[in-house]
Structure 1
Amino acid sequence: MKSRKLVALFVFLLVISNTLTYFFARNKEAGICSDNENELGGFFVSEETPANNDEALPLLREVLEIIRNYYIDEVDIKKLEEGAIRGMLETLGDPQTNFFNRESMEDMLLQVMGSYGGIGIHIANLGENVVIVSPIRSTPGEKAGLLAGDLIIEVDGENIKGLSANEVASILRGTPGEPVTLKVNREGIGELEFTITREMIELDSVYAEMLPEGIGYIYISNFDSTTGVEFSEALDRLEKENIDGLILDLRDNPGGILTEAIRVAEAIVPAGPITHVVDGDDEILDTYYSRQKKKPYPIVTLVNSYSASAAEILAGALQDNGSPLVGTKTFGKATVQNLLNLPDKMGLRYTVAKYRTPNGRNIHGEGLEPDYVIELPAFFQLPLNALPEDGGLQKGDSGEAVEILKEMLRALGYDSGYGNFFDARLETALRLFQRNNDLAPTGKFSSETHAVVCREMDDLLARSDTQLEKALAVIKGR
């Protein structure tokens, strides 16, 4: 079970329609991305390229010609053109409107093929920074201890401030077996460094299991080309066991293909509207409907600040139909983008519409407010991998690892003190921990102690998911 599976861009996946227009998306890079690149939320993709208009931008052409002919050094015209386009789009102040050069488009199409070499994280632009929306289940990124909310500062020693999530995703991808080093800034912790070995990332978006007392649990990591089918199969399996309630976990879900989110909604949202697509004047362009009978059991949805776009569409539809949300306010990304093919295999993505919930709520920039606001304990943010696996910490040492060790021991109930200095108080707490776990009470942090601390922290996290506990209580009427 995803007790706390720590996006928007992800793999762009094409869904063909009869108008040569596509719904494209698979979280992970634009508004929110992933190291396998993709965009958060649904958007249309057109194969048509607009006709050239030689009179459209005479001033821009004039400046380009002046630089080409009179600038002191030789210039790369392609770079000038791309820079002009990017600068123009930046003035819109819309992180979902982007220009893709040939390399970015090739990366995107590569992801459509399925798996990719990377570390398995969804990332997004946040101002001039790139933030981790969520690690993908069972990938190197998750195993290393990267968490939703981590701001990426450097990749392999290079500062990435100002780069787009697409560009960072391209850097993170690579040959399986090759290492990549990330420096991140974690709220309440500070800077952390992770060296992670790339692997082939296979993307499974749905996980399901039966919880005690007949409660079904389904976790959706993102909405890809098979999510609808995977969800229906998982729900069928649970319903055959006569579930008394369903917990739908959309935490850290950055979105994905709109039509797949609709397919999930069609399986559990009662008959009626699922979402409305509106233009800039709030005129309805399209409405998606469910014909599903109301389920005979209660449904509770888990959300957090990294639940975005298509995930918010699904959560909003459920909330408007009386199914409560538990967790923290969602991301607030509810726009539709058009992805246009440009000459020389380049592309342009721009916002063309917005989503509304069935009741007409505009959640863009606002997010969904849960019916039950529940925070996770602070120790969910502690990086297990920040502790040296070979131990090597003892009285007199100092540094980040010492501070994190103290925080972990405090979370486990030991009086380890505060600060980044390995003092007598920490030594005493460590001796007690070692005695309680059948280890030699040396007061030193060894490799054996590291393994047990990590095991105990894993157990603590698994039994301390306050949001899941509240969802269970709501279903049971407590």
Structure 2
Amino acid sequence: MTHKLKLLILYIFTISLVLLNKSALSKNNQLTFFKKNKKETKYIEINQKNDPEITTPEQSKDKKKEIYPWLGTVAEVVSLIEQKSFRDVDFADFIQEALKAAMPHVDAHSAFFSKESYQETMESTSGKFSGIGVSVMSKALEDDTLSIIDVIQNGPADKAGLKAGDKIIQVSGESLRSLSTDEVINKLKGEVGTDAELKVVRDKKPLEFKVKRDIIKDQSSICYNITDQNIYYLSLKIFNEPAAKQVKELLEKANAGKANGLILDLRRNPGGILDSAVDMGSLFLPKGSLVLTTKNNAGIVTTEYKTKTNPVLNSNIPIFILIDNFTASAAEILAGNLQYYSKKLIDPKTKKSSLMVFLVGMHSFGKGSVQEVIPISNGCALKLTTLLYFLPDNISTQAKGIEPDFLVKPKIIPSEEMQWVEDLYGKESSLKYHITPEEVFGKAPDKKAKKVKPEEKEKTWEERQKEAINNDVQVKTSVNLINLFNFAKQCNPKLVETREKTLSFLKQNYLTDELFNINKVE
């Protein structure tokens, strides 16, 4: 065995011993796994249904006994490859690929970053980066596709014609199998002005796009006023650094406009920065409200996050939050908190609810974990799940998600197909030899007249967005529920003085997609 190889094996063994140590560093490398001062350590009653499994000292010893023999196996593999492999092996690449393949076995969100992928990944949370302007869902290494869940307004992808629901199968000629989500995202990024060549699948058909990369100034939120009802619609795409400031400005406009209600759209929102979710909660909740706690793998509370400012939104405004199965992580924290406090906040004098919040849509994703990106040697990094988060009252969303108050399934009508059906079959005038309106009043039909279909101009993103909101069943349901709430508030305020009464009243008078009882009449 060469001296170089012995040093490599010794290095692997030494690093492994370090990993076995019970101390672990936080993001700022200042907080140890257990704090030495017992007074600083916070304990709470553990709900075994929600909490992670606690590791006892005996279990820790068993784990060490299990790991030591396998370290020897790793050394054997490296030694045999070095001595007998016909092909020369780049051990730096070999070990990095092995770690990349191993990390998903830790949990679904953990990953290994090479030096290059680590540097590129850190750019994505700044709110300004060079890319194509899409939001995507995570993929496993063995998956062949990466699904686009949203397209940024007037971004490169939007201009090129990419749509939510498209599945990317190739980037610049490279298939996506064996690539992590972060690696695919990094390939979509690049220098401003360069092209990202994509192959996607849409409605089972392969399509190709050439997207010119540009600086993405991500407007994470957008707001519209539904003027006939004076209801404000606020869509939040991601929880990044600028998000809370943008939403605050939009809420202030809703206050100034004396809105009858607010629709907060968190659908297809994959989450983002944890602090951003806490800042967002401060816009709606009383100062000092507990937003969430995080616990380590010993079930010990490591951090409590509370709101720091007074709320911005007028508490008299009913809030309906749209969620779906892509609403995850930080988005679930906000939705879950507003739903929780809406149940708990009761004015002691009037006995009325101080905050009226209801969730509409589908069951959310169920990501209740927190990842740390931890720098390690050789410029690499680990993204490791180190904590689970809990909403107030020790509520965990992990693998359970949040249940909506009103189940409303999305109903999408493919407009192009419907237009084709309408033109050919959907009306009397499409039938051959039909009686024309002229003949109804005794006039001869003008056989020479030909119907000239007006040339359709390509719609702007703004026009498409307004059209989508107008055709959105979940948005319309929320508008109707807000109108019904305000009607009851004017006519019989006692029906809606608390959240519990309001929920009962709305469910009795407005049917959604929840099953209702049917009895056969004999």
TM-score, normalised to structure 1's length?
A: 0.71
1:320–1:359 CA contact under 8 A, matched in 2: no
CA contact under 8 A between 1:270 and 1:295: conserved in structure 2? no
SS at match of 2:404: coil
Distance 2:219 2:139 in 1: 26
Letter in 2 for 1:66: L
1:469 to partner: Cα distance: 1.2
Alignment of 1:463-474 (within 5 A): 463-474=470-481
Per the alignment, residue 336 of structure 2 pairs with 316
Output the amino acid matched with 2:423: Y
Aligned-partner residue type, residue 57 of structure 1: L
Counterpart-to-counterpart distance in 1, 2:262 and 2:333: 18
Alignment of 1:192-341 (within 5 A): 192-212=207-227, 213-270=229-286, 272-280=289-297, 282-290=299-307, 292=310, 295-322=315-342, 323-341=357-375
Amino acid aligned to 1:302: L
Q: Counterpart of 1:308 in structure 2: which amino acid? A: A
Q: Which runs of 5+ in 1 are unaligned?
A: 1-14, 22-52, 383-404, 418-424, 429-438
Query: Is the partner of 2:386 in helix, strand or coil?
Result: strand
**SS where residue 295 of structure 1 aligns?**
coil
- 1:103 aligned onto 2:110: no
- Going from structure 1 to structure 2, the CA distance change for 1:451 and 1:149 (only over 3 Å counts) comes to closer
**Pairing partner for 1:62 from 72, 76, 79:** 76
- Distance in 2, matches of 1:316 and 1:110, equals 29
Aligned identity (percent) is 29
Q: Distance in 2 between matches of 1:121 and 1:19?
A: 35
Q: Distance in 2 between matches of 1:455 and 1:246?
A: 20
Q: Which SS does the other structure have where 1:300 is aligned?
A: strand
Deviates more, 1:216-225 or 1:264-273: 264-273
Contact persistence 2:198–2:208 (CA under 8 A): yes
Between the aligned partners of 2:250 and 2:29, the Cα distance in structure 1 is 30
Contact preservation (8 Å) 2:127, 2:241 = no
- Equivalent residue pairs, number: 386
Name the residue aligned to 2:128: 115
Residue 383 of structure 2 corresponds to residue 349 of structure 1: yes
Offset of 1:262 from its aligned partner? Answer: 0.4
Name the counterpart of 2:423. Answer: 414
1:78, distance to aligned residue in structure 2 (A):
0.4
SS of alignment partner, residue 248 of structure 1: strand
Cα distance between partner residues in 2 of 1:120 and 1:88 = 30
Deviations 1:244-268 (A, max 9, x none): 3222121221111111110110110
Per-residue CA distance 1:5-51 (angstroms, 9 max, x = gap): xxxxxxxxxx9869479xxxxxxxxxxxxxxxxxxxxxxxxxxxxxx
Residue 16 to residue 340, structure 1, CA distance change in 2 (3 Å): closer
Could you list the per-position Cα deviations for residues 42-75 of structure 1 after superposition, in whole angstroms to 9, with x for gaps in the alignment?
Answer: xxxxxxxxxxx99992321231122123211111
Q: Larger radius of gyration, structure 1 or 2?
A: 2
CA distance in 2, matches of 1:427, 1:327: 43
**Pairing partner for 2:195 from 174, 179, 183:** 179
**1 or 2 for the larger relative contact order (CA 8 Å, sep ≥6)?**
1
Q: How does 1:443-462 map to 2 (within 5 A)?
A: 448-449=455-456, 451=458, 460-462=467-469
Contact 1:309 1:335 in 2 (8 A): yes
CA shift, 1:282, in A, is 4.8
Tell me by how many angstroms 1:178 deviates: 3.0
Amino acid at match of 1:259: D
3-state secondary structure, aligned to 1:67: helix
**Contact 2:221–2:234 under 8 Å retained in 1:** yes
Closer/same/farther in 2, CA of residues 469 and 369 from structure 1, 3 Å limit: same
Q: Distance in 1 between matches of 2:431 and 2:165?
A: 29
Conserved 8 A contact 2:269-2:326:
yes
Letter in 1 for 2:398: H
| Aligned equivalents of 1:189, 1:442: Cα separation in 2 | 33
Distance 1:227 1:194, change over 3 A: same
Question: TM-score, normalised to structure 2's length?
Answer: 0.65
In structure 2, relative to structure 1, the CA distance for the partners of 1:468 and 1:113 (3 Å cut) is: closer
Task: Report what 2:96 is aligned to.
Answer: 82
C-alpha contact (below 8 Å) 1:377/1:464 kept by paired residues:
no
More strand by share: 1
Structure 2 residue aligned with 1:44:
none
CA 372–221 in structure 1, closer or farther in 2 if over 3 Å, else same: same
**Within 2, Cα distance between the matches of 1:123 and 1:95?**
16
Answer 1 or 2: which has greater helix percent: 2
- Is the contact between residue 132 and residue 155 of structure 2 (CA under 8 Å) also seen in structure 1? yes
Measure how far apart 1:281 and its partner are: 5.6
Q: Secondary structure at the match of 2:290?
A: strand
Alpha carbons of structure 1 residues 145 and 320: separation in structure 2 relative to 1, 3 Å = farther
2:152 equivalent to 1:136 = yes
RMSD of equivalent CA atoms: 3.6
> What do residues 262-295 of structure 1 show as CA deviations (whole Å, max 9, x unaligned)?
0110110356332232334655433323475681
Q: How far apart in 2 are the matches of 1:281 and 1:18? A: 19
Aligned to 1:71: 85
Counterpart contact for 2:327–2:365, Cα < 8 Å: yes
Residue type at the aligned position of 1:118: G
Following superposition, the deviation at residue 101 of structure 1 comes to: 0.2
Rounded to whole Å, the distance in 2 between the matches of 1:335 and 1:197 is 35
